[in-house]
């Protein structure tokens, strides 16, 4: 099983569940921010926003 196979499986699993995935990203981001310094909050938010944009592009 190659990387492309894993990516395709992930896309299939997310199909129709984009909002749930975005909620999970928000929760994960909050957990990361709770464990890191405040100076890194902006970077965490940027990564979460880019991940959400990627999900939007996969529709």
The yes-or-no verdict on residue 15 having pLDDT over 90 is: no
Q: What is the pLDDT of residue 5?
A: 81
Contact 48, 24 (CB under 8 A): no
End-to-end CA distance of the chain: 24
pLDDT class for 59, splitting at 50, 70, 90? low
Q: What is the pLDDT of residue 14?
A: 73
Q: How many domains, in total, are found in the chain?
A: 1
Tens-digit pLDDT profile for residues 25-55: 999 999 999 999 999 999 999 999 999 998 8
Contact 26, 48 (CB under 8 A): yes
* pTM (predicted TM-score): 0.72
d(CA 33, CA 57): 26
Domain extent at residue 49? 3-57
d(CA 48, CA 22): 9
């Amino acid at each position: 099983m190659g990387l492309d196979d894993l990516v395709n499986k992930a896309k299939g699993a997310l199909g129709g569940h984009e909002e749930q995935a975005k909620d999970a990203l928000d929760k994960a981001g909050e957990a990361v921010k709770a464990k890191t310094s405040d100076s890194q909050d902006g970077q965490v938010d940027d990564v979460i926003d880019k991940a959400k944009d990627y999900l939007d592009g996969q529709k």
